[in-house]
Amino acid sequence: MLEFVSVEKSFGRQKVLRGLNLCVKAREILFLIGASGVGKSVAIKLAIGLLRVDRGEIWLDGTRVDQLSEPELYPVRKQCAMVFQSSTLFDSMTVVENVALPLRKHRGLSESQARTEALSFLQKVYMESFAEHRPATLSDGMRKRVAIARALTLSPKYLLFDEPTTGLDPVSARRVDKLIRELSTSQGVTSVVVSHDLTSIFSVADRIAFLYQGKVHLEGSPTDFRRSDDPVVRQFVQGRAEGPMETPGF
């Protein structure tokens, strides 16, 4: 279980999170949604210590993680892996080398062992036939799938996705959606997905948390959101969400 308890976070005078309370249940796919700038990406970066809370607590499987030192966060990041919006692959390496890297670095596998395992992870995301390609030669959707394969190498219990379908064509976006669902079903991975993609939100999510003014404004199933009469929620669901531009990196 991943839990945020009264979490607050500001950047200078800008208050982003103003008392976030949220519990992510085991093996579910939870979507964090809301207008730009409400702190969705901030929340998942706080969970793995890429940002630090100002106030409040973050708990991961019974361990309070917001007070851990940088070295103490290493095992947290192994069980709670993040897939960044930009994929963050090394262009100087082939696809299989990118996926093999954490296997060699963190599990101490030999080059041949790491390659064999990396190929098995690429197979899970339907990218094994592109193992010898460089990331720069792939589409955005393909790079996203490679990034997911790399995140899976250390057998995380949680995957945090930051806008996984942003910038993708509709076909690639739906492939990523399908992959997130398959990981939940076949691997038992718990996923937290930051997204503005209404198709993804309503076709993949088990549960949705709508952030507004730095807090959870509404939490429930996709059906709950479709039926909601809340004007703020309706504005977002109808594709007319408005809000301040999200600060770069937030």
The per-residue pLDDT for range 185-221, each reduced to its tens digit, is 888 899 999 999 999 999 999 999 999 999 999 999 9
pLDDT of residue 78: 87
pLDDT of residue 108: 87
pLDDT of residue 87: 78
Using CB atoms within 10 A of its CB, is residue 196 exposed (0-12), middle (13-18) or buried (19+)? middle
3-class secondary-structure state, position 4:
strand
CB 53 within 8 A of CB 8: yes
Q: What is the pTM of this model?
A: 0.88
Q: Provide the pairing of β-strand 14-24 with 2-11.
A: antiparallel
Under-50 pLDDT residues of the chain: 241-250
Domain spans of the chain, in order of start = 2-237
CB 222 within 8 A of CB 202: yes
HSE-CB of 92 using CA atoms within 13 angstroms: 1
Which CATH class, in words, describes the domain spanning 2-237?
A: alpha beta
Nearest to 20 by CA among 50, 47, 1: 47
